[in-house]
């Protein structure tokens, strides 16, 4: 690494000379324009020319036989997460209604893609989203608020026998999935050809965000799992004492989640460690609940076991977020020489 001194000119402008060898190899001469790009770690890169706009990655699917909806849907989601901004589905004319229906369902399930062209034997989907408008960190913030509200509403739905609220919790899980896929797409885009040149720190950051987004997605799944037990208790409801214990376990799990995510955003190692330590206390609540639930029978036993298990797993995933927060915070510490 070569060091060069800053010089002050005109009383307000700082300049630094560029290595002659770099200038010659880049084909530059006096008066030419160079382009500066400030990186997330505070460094500045100097480019001899502007970066060309990344080419849209294209993916074509040939649907030749009878296709199941979930199979085609998984392929489309995989292409989206893989960073393909242009997806074309080609098919025999008789498959048209099926493919168009799946393409529309896919467009509603994810953020950005829209059907932009339809012919007798092809459908074209293009991703119109801009990752600058919805960064990975913004996605995580939204996921955090969404999943904690889902968990609260899931138990309220059981307490009040509110079928509409239970269904709403399940539907909100789709919003969490959409945000997870968005983060996964951003992660894969930076590793794709022409996906830009983020710093090593930027790549690690997105890697961590993708891991955390997956944990939030699983926490959302468990809120949905709790809400889906509603039919079992719709007629006779839940014992008030048991509901109180379940709510205490939910508050404990969400407390760990809140502390872990705040620690992540603030690089607070002590708070993250506290979140991990709280898992021991939480597990005692879960063990007590399993003991109380064991006396139930049939469908009620299975439903209650699922609820308790989900509350336990939610706290476990929250502790995983706290551990990532510790790793991230420690890696950002700059040691004194």
| CATH number listed for the domain at residues 58-127 | 3.30.110.20
Instruction: Give Cα 112 distance to the centre of its chain.
Output: 15
pTM of the model: 0.80
Name 70's Cβ contacts closer than 8 Å, sequence gap at least 6: none
List the chain domain ranges. 7-47, 58-127, 136-332
d(CA 245, CA 240) in angstroms, rounded, equals 9
pLDDT of residue 335: 46
pLDDT of residue 80: 93
Class of CATH domain 136-332: mainly alpha
Q: What is the pLDDT along the chain (337 residues), one digit of tens a residue?
A: 677 888 877 777 888 888 888 888 888 888 888 888 765 556 777 888 766 555 788 999 998 876 688 899 999 999 999 989 999 999 998 898 999 999 999 999 999 999 999 999 999 999 988 766 788 999 999 999 999 999 999 999 999 999 999 999 999 999 999 999 999 999 888 876 655 555 555 777 889 999 999 999 999 999 999 999 999 998 888 888 999 999 999 999 999 999 999 999 999 999 999 999 999 999 999 999 999 888 888 999 999 999 999 999 999 999 999 999 999 999 875 444 4
Is-contact 110 125, C-beta < 8 A?
A: no
pLDDT of residue 336: 42
Backbone dihedral region of 161: left (phi > 0), alpha (psi from -120 to 50 degrees) or beta? left
pLDDT of residue 337: 42
Helix, strand, or coil here: 46?
strand
Is-contact 216 140, C-beta < 8 A?
A: yes
Name 254's Cβ contacts closer than 8 Å, sequence gap at least 6: 148, 151, 152, 314, 318
pLDDT of residue 200: 58
């Amino acid at each position: 690494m070569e060091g060069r001194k800053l010089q002050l000119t005109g009383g307000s402008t700082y300049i630094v000379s560029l290595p002659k060898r770099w200038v010659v190899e880049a084909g530059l001469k006096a008066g030419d324009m160079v382009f500066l790009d400030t990186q997330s770690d505070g460094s500045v890169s100097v480019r001899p020319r502007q970066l060309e706009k990344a080419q849209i990655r294209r993916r074509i699917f040939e649907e030749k036989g009878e296709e199941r909806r979930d199979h085609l849907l998984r392929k489309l989601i995989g292409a989206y997460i893989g960073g393909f901004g242009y997806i074309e589905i080609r098919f025999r004319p008789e498959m048209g209604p099926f493919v168009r229906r799946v393409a529309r369902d896919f467009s509603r399930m994810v953020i950005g893609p829209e059907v932009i062209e339809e012919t007798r034997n092809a459908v074209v989907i293009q991703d119109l989203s801009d990752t600058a408008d919805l960064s990975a960190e913004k996605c995580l913030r939204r996921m955090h608020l969404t999943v904690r509200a889902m968990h609260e509403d899931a138990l309220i739905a059981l307490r009040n026998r509110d079928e509409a609220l239970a269904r709403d919790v399940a539907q909100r899980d789709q919003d969490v999935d959409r945000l997870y896929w968005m983060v996964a797409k951003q992660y894969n885009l930076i590793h794709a050809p022409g996906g830009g040149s983020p710093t090593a720190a930027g790549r690690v950051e997105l890697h961590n965000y993708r891991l955390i987004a997956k944990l939030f997605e699983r926490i959302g799944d468990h809120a949905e799992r709790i809400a889906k037990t509603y039919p079992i208790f719709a007629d006779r409801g839940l014992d008030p004492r048991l509901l109180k214990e379940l709510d205490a376990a939910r508050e404990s799990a969400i407390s760990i989640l809140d502390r872990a995510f705040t620690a992540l955003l603030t690089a607070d190692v002590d708070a993250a460690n506290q979140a991990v330590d709280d898992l021991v206390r939480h597990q005692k609540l879960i063990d007590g609940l399993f003991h109380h639930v064991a006396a139930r029978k049939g469908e009620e036993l299975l439903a209650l076991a699922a609820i308790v298990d989900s509350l336990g797993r939610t706290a476990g995933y929250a502790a995983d977020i706290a551990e990532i927060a510790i790793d991230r915070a420690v890696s950002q510490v700059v040691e004194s020489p």
